[in-house]
């Protein structure tokens, strides 16, 4: 167990750390957080490895996040979507340079969802515990076991980066990695949660366009309210509530309470907005609705041919086909009469 680390729990200590570094090398980074009763994840602990030194930043005590933009502008992490979302929420920007070992590993033949523990075992023959992944990271003081787990999450990242980066360079795949990490960054900045939920609901229920408009209006309203109140989306409206509202179209406080099952206090506070969404939805143009495509026989044939070509190419390269394009987006490509050549990564892997 590593016991030599610096615990940072006030703004001045964080600023002093940055001033002492005066460097631009990549540092290993991980975070522990809580996402139970809030819209945004609440950072609890940031773990850093800089050279051979370890730093644990108690984010429950830090109030000035601006220095983190400097400190965490060049980072190494594993499967970093949520970590990056936290950094973006804190300061409205992402690190300039990011090496995500999960993305790199997937391009080196380890599979798309190879865990940090599995890669450490594969590369270093070390077994890491998963016991504290669901700990209460907001509670203080942290236990010795939590601290050991937190530090372990960054111990191997720098060595891992070097190994994977060398593999990518030897195989001529660094440009593939650069493209994928930029796509990851763009996805964090431009969340597509509403679009994905809209498609899942409308496809599963086979809603007609007038109903789809109301689904979209309800999803947008839920997102706005959840962000404003910093509460989980499902605390505002569950997806099943949205489906019931679209089908039953309640017209009064009582109907929202009785027929949909919403809390009376919530309905009383939001009834004007909820009823107003009916009129708002009617004003939507069908062209505004996110597309989900039912393929014609010809389009279905094109989809299957592209899927087969994609699978064969990716199998030959030993990379997951979903890195290039997922099934849903491939269907949209077929529906639009386009080919795999529209996909930038496809062009790269064939160049």
* 111: confidence class by pLDDT, cuts 50, 70, 90: confident
Mean pLDDT across the stretch 40-67?
A: 96
Over residues 202-258, the pLDDT tens digits come to 999 999 999 999 999 999 999 999 999 999 999 999 999 999 999 999 999 999 999
The domain defined by 6-189 carries CATH number 1.10.10.10: no
Mean pLDDT across the stretch 304-330?
A: 96
Predicted confidence at residue 1, as pLDDT, reads 65
Q: How far is C-alpha 267 from the chain's CA centre?
A: 31
pLDDT of residue 22 exceeding 70, the answer is no
Predicted confidence at residue 216, as pLDDT, reads 98
* Cβ-contact 41, 86 below 8 angstroms: yes
Predicted confidence at residue 130, as pLDDT, reads 77
Mean pLDDT of the chain: 95
Report the candidate in 192, 191, 185 with the shortest Cα–Cα distance to residue 94.
Answer: 185
pLDDT of residue 135 exceeding 90, the answer is no
Query: Whole-angstrom Cα distance, residue 40 to residue 89?
Result: 8
Mean pLDDT across the stretch 179-207?
A: 95
Instruction: Specify the pairing of strand 42-50 against strand 27-34.
Output: antiparallel
* In the chain, % of residues over pLDDT 70: 99
With 0-12 / 13-18 / 19 or more C-beta atoms within 10 angstroms meaning exposed / middle / buried, residue 99 is buried
Over residues 242-253, the pLDDT tens digits come to 999 999 999 999
Report the candidate in 153, 132, 123 with the shortest Cα–Cα distance to residue 54.
Answer: 153
Query: Whole-angstrom Cα distance, residue 346 to residue 351?
Result: 9
**Taking the CB of residue 283, how many other CB atoms lie within 10 A of it?**
9
* 113: confidence class by pLDDT, cuts 50, 70, 90: confident
Ordered by start, the domain boundaries in the chain are 6-189, 193-288, 297-349
Contacts of 125 (CB under 8 A, 6+ apart): none
Query: Whole-angstrom Cα distance, residue 143 to residue 90?
Result: 26
Homologous superfamily of the 193-288 domain (CATH): HRDC domain (1.10.150.80)
- The two tokens of residue 256 are 């929202």
Q: What is the dihedral of CA 78, 82, 88, 89, to 10 degrees?
A: -150
Strands (E), the chain: 6-8, 27-34, 42-50, 53-58, 74-77, 97-100
Report the candidate in 229, 222, 270, 220 with the shortest Cα–Cα distance to residue 40.
Answer: 229
* Cβ-contact 47, 146 below 8 angstroms: no
* In the chain, % of residues over pLDDT 90: 90
């Amino acid at each position: 167990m590593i016991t030599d680390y610096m615990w940072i729990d006030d703004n001045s200590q964080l600023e002093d750390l940055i001033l002492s570094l005066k460097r631009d090398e990549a540092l290993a980074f991980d975070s522990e957080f809580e996402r139970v009763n809030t819209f945004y994840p609440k950072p609890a602990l940031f773990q850093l490895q800089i050279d051979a030194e370890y730093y644990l930043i108690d984010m429950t005590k830090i109030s000035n996040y601006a220095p983190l933009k400097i400190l965490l502008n060049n980072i190494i992490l594993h499967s970093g979507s949520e970590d990056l979302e936290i950094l973006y929420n804190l300061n409205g920007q992402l690190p300039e340079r990011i090496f995500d070992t999960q993305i790199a590993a997937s391009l080196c033949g380890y599979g798309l969802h190879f865990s940090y523990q599995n890669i450490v075992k594969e590369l270093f023959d070390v077994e890491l515990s998963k016991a504290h992944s669901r700990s209460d990271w907001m509670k203080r003081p942290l236990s010795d076991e939590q601290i050991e787990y937190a530090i372990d999450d960054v111990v191997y990242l720098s060595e891992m980066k070097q190994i994977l980066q060398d593999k990518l360079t030897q195989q001529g795949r660094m440009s593939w990695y650069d493209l994928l990490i930029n796509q990851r960054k763009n996805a964090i900045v431009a969340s597509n949660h509403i679009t994905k939920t809209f498609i899942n609901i409308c496809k599963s229920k086979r809603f007609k366009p007038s109903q789809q408009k109301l689904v979209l209006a309800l999803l947008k309203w839920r997102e706005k309210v959840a962000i404003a109140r910093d509460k989980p989306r499902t605390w505002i409206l569950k997806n099943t509530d949205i489906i019931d509202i679209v089908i039953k179209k309640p017209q009064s406080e009582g109907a929202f309470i009785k027929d949909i099952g919403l809390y009376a206090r919530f309905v009383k506070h939001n009834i004007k907005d909820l009823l107003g969404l009916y009129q708002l939805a009617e004003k939507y143009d069908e062209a505004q609705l996110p597309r989900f495509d039912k393929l014609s026989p010809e389009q279905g044939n094109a989809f299957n041919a592209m899927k087969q070509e994609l699978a064969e190419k990716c199998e030959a390269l030993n990379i997951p086909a979903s890195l290039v394009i997922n099934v849903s987006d491939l269907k949209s490509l077929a529906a639009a009469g386009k080919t795999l050549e529209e996909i930038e990564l496809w062009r790269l892997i064939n160049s």
